[in-house]
């Protein structure tokens, strides 16, 4: 069982609610940052909260849902320590964990149906980082991030 932070904008909130119910049903812990209604909101506000919870170690993983997943991924990846990726199929979901140690899954509610999204989430949660040469590569991403931040991101 894992702890998962959830966030969505107006385009993703219905799918987020469905995934939340499924996660709870599976016995996982959920930290839901919203949104909880169809009213228009700005996706970076939700990406920031989920990314912060993941980076601070308050949860094991994050899941963000917007129309395409793209805006959420761009915003979440600004947070040091976060590796967010849009996954629209189960192969990408598995490899994003095994090779890239992705810790925030981004989904596009306007592209990915509820059943497929649930399958993607399940496979993503069940997959683990393969380490070895992938650890070296992810380590280089972390080193780049640390160097940029030490220099004020110049």
Does the annotation mark 134 as catalytic?
no
Distance CA 151, CA 154 (A): 6
Cβ proximity to ligand RB5: between 1 and 70 the closer is 70
Closest-CB residue for ligand RB5? 71
- Confirm if 100 and 138 have CB atoms less than 8 A apart: yes
Count CB-CB contacts under 10 A for residue 125.
Answer: 20
Residue 62, interface with ligand RB5 (CB under 6 A)? Answer: no
User: Which residues contact residue 57 at a Cβ distance below 8 angstroms, ignoring those fewer than 6 apart?
Assistant: none
- Spatial separation of the C-alpha atoms in residues 75 and 117, rounded to whole Å: 21
Is position 66 annotated as part of the catalytic site? yes
Using rule CB under 6 A, residue 112 touches ligand RB5: no
Q: Does 44 bind ligand RB5 (CB under 6 A)?
A: no
Position of tokens 């993983």?
61
For ligand RB5, which residue of 14, 48, 60, 67 counts as binding (CB under 6 A)? Answer: 67
Binding status of residue 43 toward ligand RB5 by CB under 6 A:
yes
The residue from 35, 49, 68, 103 that contacts ligand RB5 (CB under 6 A) is 68
Cβ 78 vs Cβ 49: under 8 Å: no
Which residues are tagged catalytic?
66, 99
Residues that bind ligand RB5 (CB under 6 A): 9, 11, 43, 66-68, 70-71
């Amino acid at each position: 069982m894992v702890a998962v932070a959830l966030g969505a904008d107006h385009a993703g909130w219905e799918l987020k609610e469905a995934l939340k119910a499924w996660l709870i049903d599976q016995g996982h812990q959920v930290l839901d940052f919203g949104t909880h209604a169809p009213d228009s909101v700005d996706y970076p506000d939700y990406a920031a909260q989920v990314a912060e919870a993941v980076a601070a170690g308050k949860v094991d993983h994050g899941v963000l849902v917007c129309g395409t997943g793209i805006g959420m991924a761009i915003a979440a990846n600004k947070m040091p320590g976060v590796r967010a990726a849009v996954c629209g199929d189960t192969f990408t979901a598995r490899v994003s964990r095994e090779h890239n140690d992705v810790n925030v899954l981004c989904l596009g509610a306007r592209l990915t149906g509820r059943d497929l999204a649930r399958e993607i989430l399940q496979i993503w949660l069940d997959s683990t980082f393969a380490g070895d040469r992938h650890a070296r590569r992810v380590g280089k991403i972390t080193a780049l991030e640390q160097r940029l931040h030490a220099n004020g991101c110049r």
